Structure formats: structure tokens, C-alpha cells
Chain A
Amino acid sequence: MVARLEITLKPELFDAEGEAVRRKARDYFNIHLDQVRTIHVLTIDAKLSKDQLESARHRIFTNPVTHISSFAPLATDFDWAIWVGFRPGVRDNQGSTAVEAMEDLFKIRFQPGEAAYTSRLYLLRGQRLAGDKRGYRLVERIARELLANDLIQQWRIYSREEWHAKEGIGIIVPKVRLAHEPSVATLSIASDEELQNLSQERNLALHPNDIPVIRSYFLRPEVRAARSKVGLADPTDVELEYISQARSDHCNHNTFRGKFFYRDLVTGETEVVDNLFKTCIESPTLELKQRKGWVVSVLWDNAGVARFDQDTYYVITGETHNSPSNMEAYGGALTGIVGVYRDPMGTGKGSKLIAGTYGYCVGYRDYGGPLKPHLHPRRLLDGVIEGVRDGGNKSGIPTPYGQVFFDQGYMGKCLVFVTALGLMPATVAGTPCEEKTTTAGDLIVMCGGRVGKDGIHGVTASSEIYSEHTPAGHVQIGDPYTQKKMHDFLLEARDEGLIAFITDNGGGGLSSSIGESARFSQGALVELDKVPLKYEGLDLWEIWVSESQERMTVAIRPENLKRFMQLSRKHEVESTVLGKYTDDGKLHITYQGNTCAYVDLDLLESGFPQWEFEAEWVPPEYRGLREPVLGPPEDHRRILLTMLSRPNICSKEWIVRQYDHEVQGTSAIKHLVGLERVVPNDAVVLRPRLDSLRGLATAQALNPTYSRIDAYHMAACTIDETVRRLLAVGGSLEHLGGVDNFCWPNIQYHPESNPDGKLKAAQLVRANWALRDYCLGFGIPLLSGKDSMYVDGNLEGYFGERHKVSGLETLQFTGTSVIKDVQRCVTMDAKMEGDLLYALGFTRNELAGSEYYDLFGYTGLKVPQVRLEEVLPLYRALEEAIGAELFASVHGIYRGGLGVHLALVAMAGGLGLDVELARVPAEGVKRDDVLLYSESAGRFIVTVAPEDRARFEEKFKGLPYACCGRVTKIKKLKIRGLSGKVILNVGLQQLKTAWKKTFANL
């Protein structure tokens, strides 16, 4: 029988969840409600007796102190009620744990098809909520735009009049029913056109150039002969799906491995750039690996590995999860962070997760224009923040650092960067932990979650521009609970030496994880019918490519299987043997004894044509960019306050505080520092081994607005910013690890749909050149990196017309550095009254793409540039001085410029600053506003105790530095302009109010 249990807080208790809905309805839609109360609904579809149901109700699901509950409807006294539940097949984590709890309580197993489903009933009360059509429209808006996302959820609305007191919402069981016999289809390859049509029909997203190669393989006589022995002729859908996944841009990085015909339209110079990955990422990193003994394992595994200390390595990678987050922000971001955590878990023989970081690029939260994205940026950002929050917090992994950037361009598609850091011992069971391989005879074991229809074609969908027709099936909800159990389990298995090979099931599912791991042994035999399913009715190809989450594929030697399964039981993680690795060169898949795929593993390695792009560069001055004619401002006080309150500068404490940033006990430098712990520090530092003083610093940067001028300098400045952030906290130039995450709009030229594709392609080439130049210049091996193309969307406008909205060309750069003793670390807050204030590095007139120009709606031409020969000696001196503990505070000057960052140093310290602009090292700057808001690279603000002055100045002899003020007890930021006159004298409280007010009520 099906029972519906309703649970709610006792009426006298404050309902924080309902209150949040009430507040958002007011803030977002100006709908004033008097009260919102929530009822949690648990629908149990299982053969349980009345006594058992009653026992579950009061023993598990009802807290006698705070709850009332009933199998009859609890709702009374409301104007409108909204019920929200999942659509069939959407991951319901709470439903699963409810089943687990009941199974444990009654010592039973739920049978296939039995389940528990959670949903919510919101009871709305409001004087202005009439029971008429207008009231309905307001309530429907709350349901559609606040409470539910129709891609994953369904909702029902009840007016007080319609409500049936006895039946309530009735019984709603979102059970998946697939009246479908699993089958395998054969696809005709009679002609290129036919295969092309099939590709389109089945959403295979095969590249037109790949089609002849695929056909010719399946037409080869020796291939046909071998296939006929296993009962196959033309390719099956399982095989073509496998090829499609492996060849997708997401998995194969066809763009970065493509051939670019680069032409400078002004000079007429041309250059063929063959493979950006090889020339700008792989080759510099390999060169640096030769010089830097701490680089352990790069460029082949799920994440990069570098030395932390004598017997420990750290592991890092970064990902994006843009397309899914754009459609279902919470589920997409949650799946993103939980997914990237599986990369370090699947690196070498596995590593323990020690941190995650985030980067969000979204449209403006208060956007009120005519464009209609699937989710309003405000709602999207809320969802993304919460998704990463639950993913990190529930995994027991600190989220110590992150950044947010707002720009209109991200309305088309948002960016959600997630980065994961892990730690592994140098050796496990006597073998190097970073190495792994599969050998013929090893068993293929899948661990973790089960397989359903979710996530099918995620990989190919993220390789496409978002449209209203994008299949919603690839929207998923991550399950950190299941993954945390699996993480703990696999680490124990690793330490007992049971794991020969491990990799995650991410994009492409089993197709990728088995396909890739089989290349080591040179073959695999997979029995698809062994794969545990969430529900029956999946076609074979769906099982093979499903991206259902929280799964790892592991190679286990047969003699280790017993112990491995014992540990699996201990942690209550499902593990299943799916087949074995072989060495016959074939990927051989069977279902109930019949072959459904039989292809050569090396099929993917040869013969596929490189993607080709035309790249045309027009330098910014020839694109019409100019410096604006902008006179100096008179009211410096108001300009600074305005700058501080801008979304890309202001406080985002509300986000940082939602993340557990110190679980594991490793936090040494937190993101928010200073007297009131509200100002973000340049970087964070972990002390990942509790028994050691060694630290791991990490920081990230992105500066996408500079791409408006030249993506070369965008990339250069972003790398420089990351380096400075790491150095500011105490990082070392000797050990700088990098992770590049490119997010780019479509670069394939099309006269109608992508007319500026050639310029975007040239920008990508230029950004990669900068990556190469500055990684070599600073000595940063790229430990890992990823690219995500197609940051575009077609949004409906006011009149029903559609606009293509492309994101800015964006590189997020993540850096790491190992610190010998965390007690040497410095934070950015001014510490002591009377300390001297120094500016390091030249300020130049480089305002293009800056926050200051953006305030007035200008782009400009003079974009910040990074002069390696100038900044490197300065950075070396800084590193030495921090090592000698000569600084009380160190802070880089980033977006917003000197003015903004002086204010941050003062606010953080709770101390005043008395500054003379005339003494700031500068080149060619004649105006106060330029000095205050130029975003020149390579600069720092430091404070120094007077007694350390001589030692400090000795170290910086001959370098661009100057004492330009001091730290004062008077809580004011006082700045004298170039003329010597005081141009600004503002109290800290005022600065702080301006800086905090933008998102104050969040």
C-alpha cells in the first residue's frame, strides 16, 4: 500500500524554511505574504504493515520535541497551498535515506519497485492573496520561479476553496515506469548522408568529418569478418554511442587539439597553429617538469600530482559544469562539485579529498531587462551557491576559497568552475601511488550508485549551444552522501593494496571509464546485464553511456576481490563485477550472452580528422576601441564608495559563510580575515597534514573583461594575479602549480549564427599563447586543466525574438604553492598603528577593461600588461622578505585598483591609512583617478613595522617600491592627491557600509 506521511514543525515554532520563502517572494517579486509554513511529505510505496508505518512515523520521522506528524493531511488555515515534488526518475536523496532507515529499523529489504519519495507542501497566507485569478497568478509565479524547476520538479496549486481536507494532496507516486523491452539496434551506414541523418535523429552529435572515418572502419573487410564471428554486421547503437561519446569535444578536446589558421588582418601575417594543447599546454609543462622535481604526474590522469612533502603528494584538477547548472542551478552545481571530487579519487590509485573551490560567472543579480533566460541570474546564483554548499559540506571537504563575477554575457550560459584538491601517500602497499594500470585478467568493478536514464547525452549536450530543445534528461542531482561512503571505502581499499586501477564515471559513463581503462590492458569484456539499474527498461546503449552519478570503475585482481567486497559491505557501498580486462585489442560488450559491441580499441586513435578553425585577429585599435575622453572627477569620496558597492567588488560574505571552510582541521589561512573577519584574503592556506607545519596555498583569478580588448592580456593578467595571490600569503616562486580552465563562446565561424567566430577563435589562440609565455616565464607547470566551449545562449526577448548572448572569453587560473612553515604566512589586513605603508610595483595608465571604466560604461584601449622582466625581481624580493617575517601585511592590487584595495586593507585591519599618492611608484600617470583605479599588474600594498624598515628596504634596493604612508589609529582612509591636497578622507564605517550594502540582506 502507499502511505503519505506529513511532518511539520509545531505551530509555535519558527519555520526558517518557510520564512526564507516569504522573504524571497517579497525581495524577488514584490509579493507580500504574511506567512509561509512548510510540511514535509514522505510518500512510502512499500509493503509495510500499519504497525510498521506507525513505528516509522514516531521512531524515525517525527521529533517529539518539535514535530507533529500524521498520515492524514495536516494543512489547515492557509490561503493557497503549493505542493512541489520531483518528476519521475529524478534523484531523491532523502527518499533513499528514508528507505535505508526503515530497512534498518525493520530489518527488511525494500523490493524492486518499492521506494519512498519526498516532497514539500508550502502553506501561504497573505491578505493580498485573493482566491481569484490574480491571486493564482502570484502563487503560480512563486511556484514556478522560486520553489520548483519544471525540468526536475512538478507542482500543484490549491486554493483554500479547492482544498479537500480529507484527501489533501492525494497520493502522488513519481515512479518511473518504462514499458520497454531493452533492445539493441543496428544502424545503416549505407552512405555518409544516412549516417549523418541517424546521428541527428538519435542526438549522437557526430562531427560530419568523422562520419566517413566511422563508415570506412565498419566497411573494412577484416573488420566485417571479425564482427561476423560474434554475430555483428553494421554498427550497433551501443558502438556508435561509444564512438560519439569518445569523440565529443567534452571528452576529446577537439577544439584544443584542432588546427587554427591564424591571420592578423592588419599585418597580413599568417600562422598555422597545430594543436593548442600540444604547443601551449603540454610542451611547456613537460619542459618545466624537467626542471622541477616536485612535479610528479601530469597530463595523462584525471588530475595532476605534485609533491607536498617527502612522503605525500597533493592532487589537483578543475572542471566546469556550465550547461547543467544553467538549466537546473542547484542540481547542476551539486553534481559539478561532487563530480570533480571523483577526479582526485580516481587519480593514481586514489587520493583523499582535502579541499574544493568555486568560481561562478553569472548575469547581474538585479537584472530587470527584457531577456528571458531559463533561470533569472538571481535564482541561478542562489541555486549554484546552494548546490556547491551541499556538495562540499556533506562530503566533509572544506570549501575554503572561491570567486564570483557578474557580467551580462553570462546570461546566455553561466559558468560554474569547481576545483578539487586531494592528498595521497607517495606509496601504497609498496608501490607508487600515482601509478596505475589494468592487466588482462583484472576484474572490472563498478562501485557506488546505480544506473538510470539520468545524464544520458550530457557530454554531447555540453558540446552544444543551449536551446529550448536541449534534452532535460541530462539534469541530475548529485548525492554527496553515497559518494562520501564510497570515498571512505575506496581509500581503505587503496591502503590495503587492493586497487590496480581506478577512474571515475563522469562524462560518458561506463563508455568512457571502461573504454579508457581498457586501453592499458588493451581490451575488455563487459557484460552489460550485470550493471545494477535503478529501474528496468533501459536500452543497452543507455546503460553504456548513462552518466548516473557517484560511480567509480575499479580494476581488481581476482585474488583481491573477496576482501574488496568485504570492505564494500562495511561501508554499505554497492560494488558489482561487470566483466574483465583482456588483451585482445577489442572492446567486447555482451548482454545476456549476445554480443552488442565489438570494436578495436585503437579505432579512436587513428584516422579521425583534426577539427579546423579560421582565426582572424583584428587588433583592438582597428576594432574601433579608443580611450574615452573622461575628465578627472571632483568627488573622490563618492567614487570610492560607489566602486566599493559594485557587484564585482563588494562583500560576498553571505556566500563564504555558507561553506564549511575548516572541516578536517586543516585551515591555516582562511578566506575571510581581519578584525571582523569579513574581508577576503589574497589566498588561503591549508595545513593538510595535522602532524606537520607544512602548508598548501591555493588561489584563483579571472579577469574576463580584459578579453574585450585582447584575450592575450586577459590570460597574462589572470596568471599574474594568481601568482601574486599565492606570493602575498607566503607562497614560493619555486613551487607554483597551475590549473587552466578555459570557458569560451563558440569559435566555429558561421555567417549567420556565429559571424564573429573567427575573432573568437583568434582570441582563443592568443589566450593560449599567453598561457604558454607566462607559464614558462613564471615557471608554472600546468598540473591540470579543462576547456568548455559554447558559452552561448539564445535568449528570448521582449517581442518573442531571440538574441544570441555570448559569454566573455574567460580563463579561470588556479594556482598552488607549498609553504614550508605556515607560521610564516601573512594576511592582507593592516595590523598595527604606526606601521609604514609601502606600494610595490609600477602603476601605469592601464584602465581598459577596468572596474572604473565599467562604472561609466567604457571599455578603453590600454589594457594592463604583465612585464615579466620587471615583476620577477620584485616578486623574488617579496618572497624573501616574507620568509624573513618582515611584513605585517601583504596584499596584491587587483580589480578595482589601488583605491579599492587600500580601503580593503584598512577595513580589514580596523585601522586608518594615511596615504600620499605622489609617492606611489608610477610611470606616465598624471591623475589621481588613474593612480587610484588603474589595474596595472605586478603590484602589492604592504605594511611594515618601523623597526623592520631598514632590513626591508635593503632587500628592495633598486626595485619599484616606495613608502607612501602609514597605518593610523584614526579609523579613516585619508588620501593626498598628486597635488598634495587631501582628496579623500572617509571613515572606515562608511567604507564598510558601502562595501557591504549591495548584498546586505542575503
Chain B
Amino acid sequence: MAKKKNIAAPIPRIRSSPKALVLTGFGLNCDWETAYALELAGAEARRVHINQLLMGEEIGEVARLDDYQIFAFIGGFSWGDDHGAGVIFASKLLYNMGEEILSFIEKGNLVIGICNGFQAMVNLGLLPGLDGDYRSRKVALIGNDCGSFRDQWVHLKVETSSPCVFTQGLENLELPVRHGEGKFYAEERVIKNLEKNNQVVVRYADSEGRAANGSFPENPNGSLKDIAGICDSTGRVFGIMPHTEAFIHWTNHPDWTRQKEHYRRRREPYPQEGYGIKIFRNAVEYFK
């Protein structure tokens, strides 16, 4: 396939809520909460098994990517993370429906990849999508420096100059990482390019919002330049290691019982929504 030029498609206007496809199957596992988060944000979300897209007729459950505007690559352990996290997932999609995914992006739709989804997207080449090339593997998410899987909440600093649709209006975020292979790695010139193009979206930071500068555990995996998430040059294709769908209720936050004491003593109402919903709401708003 020929390399694509930078795609600056018009925003598809839709009358009702945008439809979101949450891809499941083969060991992916954040399907329910990602779909729920998208619904809370105002999208109409559907969990779709990969084989519904690839062999829908045979199994009596046809689904078409064309019917959706938001495509979510979710977290999990697709194919057990064997042979590299997201590697077989990417190969499965690339050699069975690669063209459809590119055409989905070309139409101006949104793609988000979270954790294993992000890993799959970089192996597909959808990210970083430098110069509109959505087929080249230029960056990688490799084994954490700490040597094992790690579940921990992190502070994230949002690069406000990024065109990323999903993080508009956000400056700081707190989300959990839950991965064994999340170290962002690329050659220096690739990283320079990403930074130049404002394609770095979120970085690991300390509680004050300052870049972690590689220090553990603020930067939990040794990611180069503290990079936790990147987007393509249009900002419509976004991948992030921390789990945006894991902070959908305020009680998901590890400190909520501490915050509650403040609210309670000030006789203030408790917040309900988790901050992660904002990422999905930005996606929904994009189509309005």
C-alpha cells in the first residue's frame, strides 16, 4: 500500500450520539468498562468481537467498522501478550482488515488505544503515523525497566499544545498503569520528530505536575522522555498506556476516602464521575 499523505479530513457530522466500537475477544479484557465509560460520555457503545468483523456471516453476528465513528482498541492480554504485547493482535488486524482501518481513519473518525490497545496500534503502525504513514512501526512499548507487571496510579501531565482530540482542555490527569510492557521506546530522531509535531500527548509526572524525568515510580516503566501517550499528526488517533477507563467513578481513585473527609467536613456533595470520563467525552464532543 502506498504511503498516505497527511490526512486532514473534515469532522464527520452526525445527528445522534456517535457510535463507538469496542473491540473484544482473544484475551482482551477491558471491554465492559470501556463501553460503559463511552456510554457515560454520551456515545452509543457496542462490544464487538474481532470475529464479528472478520467472519460475521459464518457466526451469525455481522458487524462493520463502517457503521462506527469511534474505534476503541482496549486493554487486556490479547493472545496472552505472547511474542510481544499487542503483536499478534496487530498482525491479525493488519492482514485481515488493514485497509478498512486505514479508510476508517481517512474518513475523519477517531481511534483510541489504551494499554494493550496502544501496544497493538504501534505494532500496526497506526501510531505514530508520522507524515500520514499509518503502516510503519517506528515506536515500541517494551518490557518495564522494573522487570515485572506493575499496577500503580500515576500523575500525568498533558501537553496542551498537542492536537489530540481526546485531551482537549485537560492539563493534568491521574490514572492507573497496569502493564508489564509499557516502556515507550523509539530512536532519538523519531522522538524528536514526535516532539516537534506536538504528537506527545501525555507524560508521566510527579504529584506537582512536573515531568518525572525518568525517576521511578513516578515514571513507572522507564519510558523515554516520560512518554505515556502519543497521537498522530491529526490528533484523531491516540494511544495511551494508563487506563482512562479505570477512572470512571470517583471511588476508583486510591485517595477518595481521604478526599471524602474534606468534602464531608465542609458539607460538600461528593463528586460522582471519575476524571477519566473526560477523555471519552472529548471524543463524543468532537462529533457535535
Query: Whole-angstrom distance from the CB of B248 to the nearest CB of chain A?
Result: 6
- Check A100–B251 contact: CB distance below 8 A: no
Complex alpha-carbon distance, A566 and B59, angstroms? 5
- Check A104–B96 contact: CB distance below 8 A: yes
- Check B27–A481 contact: CB distance below 8 A: yes
Give the contacting residue for B83; candidates A101, A481, A690; CB below 8 A: A101
- Check A485–B83 contact: CB distance below 8 A: no
Give the contacting residue for B27; candidates A104, A484, A673; CB below 8 A: A484
- Check B80–A63 contact: CB distance below 8 A: no
Query: Whole-angstrom distance from the CB of B210 to the nearest CB of chain A?
Result: 18
Give the contacting residue for A661; candidates B81, B96, B151; CB below 8 A: B151
Query: Whole-angstrom distance from the CB of A686 to the nearest CB of chain B?
Result: 10
- Check A663–B49 contact: CB distance below 8 A: no
Check: B153 CB closer than 8 A to any chain A CB. yes
Query: Whole-angstrom distance from the CB of A314 to the nearest CB of chain B?
Result: 16
CB within 8 Å of B: which A1-60 residues:
9, 13-14, 16-17, 19-20, 59-60
Interface residue stretch chosen among A201-209, A341-349, A823-831: A823-831
Check: A418 CB closer than 8 A to any chain B CB. no
Decide yes or no: A668 and B75 within 8 Å by CB, A484-B27, A566-B60 being known contacts: no
| Contact mask for chain A residues 960-1001; partner B; CB cutoff 8 A; 1 contact, 0 none | 000000000000000000000000000000000000000000
Task: List, in ascending order, chain A residues with CB within 8 A of B68's CB.
Answer: none
Complex alpha-carbon distance, A744 and B23, angstroms? 46
- Check A65–B178 contact: CB distance below 8 A: no
Query: Whole-angstrom distance from the CB of B158 to the nearest CB of chain A?
Result: 22
Give the contacting residue for A569; candidates B59, B91, B150, B257; CB below 8 A: B59
Decide yes or no: A570 and B59 within 8 Å by CB, A97-B80, A396-B29, A832-B261 being known contacts: yes
- Check A65–B32 contact: CB distance below 8 A: no
Task: List, in ascending order, chain B residues with CB within 8 A of A827's CB.
Answer: 257-258
- Check B83–A17 contact: CB distance below 8 A: no
Query: Whole-angstrom distance from the CB of A981 to the nearest CB of chain B?
Result: 33
Query: Whole-angstrom distance from the CB of A659 to the nearest CB of chain B?
Result: 6
CB-based nearest A residue for B142: A66
Check: A669 CB closer than 8 A to any chain B CB. yes
Query: Whole-angstrom distance from the CB of A181 to the nearest CB of chain B?
Result: 35
Give the contacting residue for B33; candidates A393, A394, A571, A664; CB below 8 A: A664
Decide yes or no: A94 and B80 within 8 Å by CB, A665-B36, A832-B261 being known contacts: yes
Complex alpha-carbon distance, A870 and B51, angstroms? 60
Complex alpha-carbon distance, A673 and B258, angstroms? 10
Task: List, in ascending order, chain A residues with CB within 8 A of B140's CB.
Answer: 63, 65-66
- Check A101–B88 contact: CB distance below 8 A: yes
Give the contacting residue for B81; candidates A98, A394, A673; CB below 8 A: A394
Task: List, in ascending order, chain B residues with CB within 8 A of A672's CB.
Answer: 254
CB within 8 Å of A: which B231-262 residues:
243, 245-246, 248-249, 251-252, 254-255, 257-258, 260-261
Complex alpha-carbon distance, A19 and B146, angstroms? 10
Task: List, in ascending order, chain B residues with CB within 8 A of A301's CB.
Answer: none
- Check A571–B87 contact: CB distance below 8 A: no
- Residue among A101, A104, A691 facing the most chain B CB atoms (10 A cut-off): A101
- Check A670–B254 contact: CB distance below 8 A: yes
Decide yes or no: A663 and B75 within 8 Å by CB, A65-B186, A101-B83 being known contacts: yes
Check: A321 CB closer than 8 A to any chain B CB. no
Check: A657 CB closer than 8 A to any chain B CB. yes
- Residue among B27, B28, B91, B185 facing the most chain A CB atoms (10 A cut-off): B27
- Check B24–A570 contact: CB distance below 8 A: no
| Contact mask for chain B residues 36-59; partner A; CB cutoff 8 A; 1 contact, 0 none | 110000000000010110010011
Check: B280 CB closer than 8 A to any chain A CB. no
Query: Whole-angstrom distance from the CB of B40 to the nearest CB of chain A?
Result: 9
B interface secondary structure, majority = mixed
CB within 8 Å of A: which B185-227 residues:
185-187, 222
CB-based nearest B residue for A888: B261
Task: List, in ascending order, chain B residues with CB within 8 A of A98's CB.
Answer: 82-83
Complex alpha-carbon distance, A372 and B33, angstroms? 48
- Check B77–A394 contact: CB distance below 8 A: yes
- Check A657–B245 contact: CB distance below 8 A: no
Complex alpha-carbon distance, A59 and B148, angstroms? 26
Give the contacting residue for B145; candidates A14, A93, A485, A488; CB below 8 A: A14
- Check A662–B186 contact: CB distance below 8 A: no
Check: B107 CB closer than 8 A to any chain A CB. no
Complex alpha-carbon distance, A569 and B60, angstroms? 11
CB within 8 Å of B: which A645-678 residues:
657-670, 672-673, 675, 677
Task: List, in ascending order, chain A residues with CB within 8 A of B108's CB.
Answer: none
CB within 8 Å of A: which B96-148 residues:
96, 123, 137-140, 142-148
Query: Whole-angstrom distance from the CB of B74 to the nearest CB of chain A?
Result: 10
Task: List, in ascending order, chain A residues with CB within 8 A of B229's CB.
Answer: none
- Check A19–B147 contact: CB distance below 8 A: yes
Task: List, in ascending order, chain B residues with CB within 8 A of A829's CB.
Answer: 257-258
Complex alpha-carbon distance, A675 and B153, angstroms? 12
Complex alpha-carbon distance, A207 and B140, angstroms? 58
Check: A885 CB closer than 8 A to any chain B CB. yes
Check: A872 CB closer than 8 A to any chain B CB. no
Query: Whole-angstrom distance from the CB of A223 to the nearest CB of chain B?
Result: 47
Task: List, in ascending order, chain B residues with CB within 8 A of A659's CB.
Answer: 149, 151
- Check A65–B270 contact: CB distance below 8 A: no
CB-based nearest A residue for B251: A668
- Check A687–B251 contact: CB distance below 8 A: yes
Task: List, in ascending order, chain B residues with CB within 8 A of A16's CB.
Answer: 143-147
Decide yes or no: A63 and B82 within 8 Å by CB, A484-B27, A661-B151 being known contacts: no
- Check B248–A63 contact: CB distance below 8 A: no
Give the contacting residue for A571; candidates B25, B29, B88, B249; CB below 8 A: B25
- Check A104–B82 contact: CB distance below 8 A: no
Check: A235 CB closer than 8 A to any chain B CB. no
Task: List, in ascending order, chain B residues with CB within 8 A of A479's CB.
Answer: 80
Give the contacting residue for A945; candidates B59, B146, B147, B265; CB below 8 A: B265
Complex alpha-carbon distance, A64 and B190, angstroms? 14
Query: Whole-angstrom distance from the CB of B227 to the nearest CB of chain A?
Result: 14
- Check B149–A94 contact: CB distance below 8 A: no
CB-based nearest A residue for B28: A396
Check: B30 CB closer than 8 A to any chain A CB. yes
Task: List, in ascending order, chain B residues with CB within 8 A of A831's CB.
Answer: 257-258, 261
CB-based nearest A residue for B26: A485
- Check B151–A396 contact: CB distance below 8 A: no
Give the contacting residue for A570; candidates B49, B95, B257; CB below 8 A: B49
CB-based nearest A residue for B263: A823
Check: B4 CB closer than 8 A to any chain A CB. no
Give the contacting residue for B49; candidates A386, A389, A571; CB below 8 A: A571
CB within 8 Å of B: which A786-833 residues:
822-823, 825-827, 829, 831-832
Task: List, in ascending order, chain A residues with CB within 8 A of B249's CB.
Answer: 665, 668, 687, 690
Check: B92 CB closer than 8 A to any chain A CB. yes
| Contact mask for chain B residues 11-38; partner A; CB cutoff 8 A; 1 contact, 0 none | 0000000000000111111101100110
Query: Whole-angstrom distance from the CB of A478 to the nearest CB of chain B?
Result: 11
Complex alpha-carbon distance, A631 and B252, angstroms? 48
Check: A567 CB closer than 8 A to any chain B CB. yes
Instruction: List 22 A-B residue pairs with CB atoms under 8 Å apart, sorted by A's residue number.
Output: A16-B144, A63-B87, A65-B140, A93-B80, A94-B82, A101-B91, A105-B91, A389-B148, A396-B30, A480-B80, A481-B77, A488-B25, A563-B60, A566-B59, A665-B248, A667-B252, A673-B254, A675-B255, A690-B248, A827-B257, A831-B258, A945-B265
Name A's B-contacting residues (CB within 8 A). 9, 13-14, 16-17, 19-20, 59-61, 63-66, 93-94, 97-98, 100-101, 104-105, 386, 389, 393-396, 479-481, 484-485, 488, 563, 566-567, 569-572, 657-670, 672-673, 675, 677, 687, 690-691, 822-823, 825-827, 829, 831-832, 885, 888, 945, 947
New A-B pairs, 20, CB < 8 Å, besides A97-B88, A104-B96 = A60-B83, A64-B137, A65-B185, A97-B79, A97-B82, A105-B95, A396-B27, A396-B30, A484-B77, A563-B60, A571-B25, A658-B150, A663-B30, A665-B245, A665-B248, A690-B32, A690-B33, A825-B251, A945-B265, A947-B265
Kindly list the 8 A-B residue pairs having the minimum CB-CB distance in the complex, ordered from nearest: A396-B29, A665-B33, A481-B80, A65-B140, A570-B59, A97-B82, A94-B82, A394-B77
